[in-house]
Structure 1
Amino acid sequence: MYNYKGFKLLVILFITGIAQTVSAQSVDEIIAKHITAMGGADKLSKLKSVAIVSNMEVMNMEMPVKITIVQDKGFRTETTVQGMTIIQATDGVKGWMVNPMAGDGKPVELPQEAVQQYASQTDLTGLYNYKQKGLQLALEGEQELNGAKVYKIVATLKSGAKQDNYISKDTYYVLKVVATVSANGQNITTENIQSDFKQVDGVTFPFSSELTTSAMPGAKVINKIESVAVNAKVDESIFAMPK
């Protein structure tokens, strides 16, 4: 959590150990309150699927979006742009895309890098059970975000990638997520600001989000959720690439 290389005195190491223990306890306390705010361990442990209908606005264009996710199994989005529907999906092993705007309505296999990124979206429960998921969390102090006091908790994923989570000291919702992913040999940083939190069947979702990315400087993606179906029955064949 902290880099104490170079400190050799026993007393310094002793103090260091105490600091690490206190920090770890603080992280667990914050995460416990966050999990409660998101619906509680009982609800999150039983969250198996979601079907989301939303409206996305990019550069003054509105695009209806349907997202279907089955926990740890499949992810599929259907985005309608100018009357044409772009489909992107993964079954956790392979990914594919149909993009009629490219002049061809045939499914095309996605590169493994993209598959891994989509597969990471199949976890519906976020920081719940983070230790079992192999995440390492570190509390990096408190900040202010748009007038709200927040904790900055950095999650280190199994891949080594880091994700900054800004958790409200008031509601314990995650108000902002900053993540860096590798795509086409470049590191791309995204910032997602979340708001308008509502519960659906006891599980909390951010119904509004604003996304910016270094891949599109100056552009902002605004997403407004219209409806969420929790644990709806899903035909998992929709994640498999059509033959």
Structure 2
Amino acid sequence: MKFRHLFATVLAALTLAAAGAFAMDLEELVGKAIDAQGGAAAFKAIQSQKASGKVLSHGMEMPITLLTARPNLMRVEVTVMGMSMVNAFDGTTGWSINPMTGSQDPQPMGELEMKNARLQADMDGPLQNWEARGWVGEYLGEEEVEGTAAHRLRIDTKQDLVLEMWLDAETFLPLKQNAKVKFEQQEIESQMYFSDYRTQDGLVIPFSLEARQGDQVMMNMVFDSIEFGVPVDPALFVMPAKAAAPAAPTGN
């Protein structure tokens, strides 16, 4: 199993003017979606978040802890066969530790991983202040997601990342998100499905996420607990120094 690809899938996750009976103004739709999840003020009040649960992939069950904090800090830790894999972003630099490669040394993220990390580290999500960020949004009309009527919208971040999101036509909660990332003249696409919404500290958030590529389910993330306002050590997000090489033996 390619565990590096698993991490890319986790983080990739971890990222949204047509006619019809339910057609509406894009700004109104985004406002309803934000309100359905608790409102802009509730989002802004949160300075840190810790989510704990498990990843189910390729017949394996792996504990996962996701820690995010302002401004744009992110750390994901997954335990695989007793070893801890870490991906982190300090707002500028992304890095990872993957003992499955035979090394415990931190390594800088590649370009694709960095794009996913920036998306994951954004605590406000793609719908908050999208216009102020210079992004371009478009309402694409109504479309069903596995039998549920949904509003589809598209947001182009102008940073080689385009998000499409499907919002439940009744609750306005996200059902599905599609991310298209341009990387080395290619376009890499992934989908995330959201379910098991619960109210936590005034916010309505999904406790179950399913990542797919095409028709293939890549993994499921199921969270047991999600906490807000947890104490955060900034050092957790900073790339540590590599371990010093052992000194060469000296003769007597």
Q: TM-score, normalised by structure 1?
A: 0.84
- The question of whether the paired residues in 2 share the 8 Å contact of 1:139 and 1:153 is answered with yes
- The question of whether the paired residues in 1 share the 8 Å contact of 2:49 and 2:226 is answered with yes
In the aligned structure 1, how far is the partner of 2:198 from the partner of 2:59? 26
Moved over 6 A (4+): none
- The question of whether the paired residues in 2 share the 8 Å contact of 1:94 and 1:112 is answered with no
The Cα of 1:39 is off from its aligned counterpart by 0.5
The Cα of 1:72 is off from its aligned counterpart by 3.3
Structure 1 residues 185, 239: CA separation in 2 closer, same or farther (over 3 Å shift)? farther
- The question of whether the paired residues in 1 share the 8 Å contact of 2:72 and 2:123 is answered with no
In the aligned structure 1, how far is the partner of 2:112 from the partner of 2:161? 14
Aligned to 1:68, the other structure's residue is in SS state strand
In the aligned structure 2, how far is the partner of 1:34 from the partner of 1:64? 30
Asked whether 1:200 is paired with 2:200, we answer yes
The aligned counterpart of 2:86 is: 87
**Structure 1: gaps of 5 or more residues:** 1-17
One-letter code aligned to 1:158: K
One-letter code aligned to 2:85: I
Structure 1 residues 184, 52: CA separation in 2 closer, same or farther (over 3 Å shift)? farther
Asked whether 1:104 is paired with 2:103, we answer yes
- The question of whether the paired residues in 1 share the 8 Å contact of 2:210 and 2:217 is answered with no
Asked whether 1:231 is paired with 2:229, we answer yes
The Cα of 1:184 is off from its aligned counterpart by 5.6
Larger mean CA deviation between 139-148 and 154-163 belongs to 154-163
Aligned to 1:128, the other structure's residue is in SS state coil
The Cα of 1:131 is off from its aligned counterpart by 1.5
The Cα of 1:160 is off from its aligned counterpart by 4.6
One-letter code aligned to 1:238: L
Asked whether 1:136 is paired with 2:136, we answer yes
Structure 1 residues 192, 35: CA separation in 2 closer, same or farther (over 3 Å shift)? same
Asked whether 1:44 is paired with 2:43, we answer yes
CA deviation map 1:144-180 (0-9, x unaligned): 1122110010111131531110001111001000111
- The question of whether the paired residues in 2 share the 8 Å contact of 1:188 and 1:213 is answered with no
In the aligned structure 2, how far is the partner of 1:172 from the partner of 1:179? 19
Q: TM-score, normalised by structure 2?
A: 0.81
In the aligned structure 1, how far is the partner of 2:89 from the partner of 2:163? 22
In the aligned structure 2, how far is the partner of 1:66 from the partner of 1:185? 33
- The question of whether the paired residues in 2 share the 8 Å contact of 1:65 and 1:78 is answered with yes
- The question of whether the paired residues in 2 share the 8 Å contact of 1:59 and 1:219 is answered with no
Map 1:174-189 to 2 at 5 A.
174-183=174-183, 186-189=186-189
Map 1:149-168 to 2 at 5 A.
149-168=149-168
The Cα of 1:25 is off from its aligned counterpart by 6.4
One-letter code aligned to 1:42: A
Aligned to 2:100, the other structure's residue is in SS state helix
The Cα of 1:185 is off from its aligned counterpart by 5.1
One-letter code aligned to 2:195: S
- CA-atom RMSD in angstroms: 2.3
In the aligned structure 2, how far is the partner of 1:130 from the partner of 1:163? 12
Larger mean CA deviation between 121-130 and 53-62 belongs to 121-130
> Identity of aligned pairs, percent?
28
In the aligned structure 1, how far is the partner of 2:38 from the partner of 2:210? 23
One-letter code aligned to 2:179: A
CA deviation map 1:90-149 (0-9, x unaligned): 112111111111111111122244223212211122212222232221111101112211
If asked which structure has higher relative contact order (CA below 8 Å, sep 6+), I would say 2
